[in-house]
Amino acid sequence: MLHLLHNTGQAMFMLFEAIWFIRHAFGRRSRQETFTQLYVTGIKSLAVITVVALFTGMILALQTGLELKRWGYEEFIGSAVAVTMIREMGPFMTGLIIAASVGSAIAAQLGTMTVSEEVAALEVMSINPNRFLVMPRLVALAVMMPILTVYTNILGIMGGAVVGATQLGVSVRAYMDNATQFAANKDLYVGLLKAFVFGIIIVTVACHQGFVTREGAVGVGKATRRSVIISFLIILVVGYMITRLFYI
């Protein structure tokens, strides 16, 4: 328990210091690294997010529609898919994808720099590692996670429309009318809040696991695995807590 609290405290201090340096994110020294991280987090993740988002919406529409069709209410799959994607599945699936791809890469990169003493060299040169390494990644994930979540929501809803039109006999127009009728602005705002929080969680866990890496190459592998596992668990718990806070 003491070890857990110690690591949590270290991660929080690292996060707060990185937040303090955000004012330098687009300064002369940090601008290039910040844009690089925005590109890595956003553009290079689009392919896998596209596939996952599209099929998530299709699966939701198919499973929900088959049950609703038994009672003659298949036209309501639009609202079911839209609300589920916007409120929960959009930020959740995006968070898992980014944690598994970007988060693991951050942990591996910083872990390699730690065991090869590159982080120590930065400190010797009076370069703060939290400003040079953590802050650009924090800005990138905090900015791109809500944007990627909106992209996931759109593709998921479109995937549901395809399934509704081709397999459940629900026209695209009826599907979209039903989706826009029942999806509220609150659902969108809560989903974007979740995405923002998930982005901060991922970068905090990944960077901290990278900085505490030991044991050379073996330690880098362990840090990468721990980063993904811890991020997944915290995303699940925090996602439930935010839903509980706003809807009950």
Give the residue extent of every domain in the chain. 30-247
- Residue 229, CA atoms < 13 Å, CB-side half-sphere: 7
Whether pLDDT at 29 is above 80: no
Residue 243 near residue 189 (C-beta atoms within 8 A): no
Segment 11-20 mean pLDDT: 94
Residue 224 near residue 111 (C-beta atoms within 8 A): yes
| Mean pLDDT taken over the chain | 92
pLDDT digits (tens, 9 = 90+) for 153-170: 999 999 999 999 998 888
pLDDT digits (tens, 9 = 90+) for 97-144: 999 999 999 999 999 999 999 999 988 998 889 999 999 999 999 999
Burial class of residue 47 (count of CB atoms within 10 Å of its CB; 0-12, 13-18, 19+)? exposed
pLDDT of res. 169:
86
Burial class of residue 238 (count of CB atoms within 10 Å of its CB; 0-12, 13-18, 19+)? middle
d(CA 245, CA 197): 14
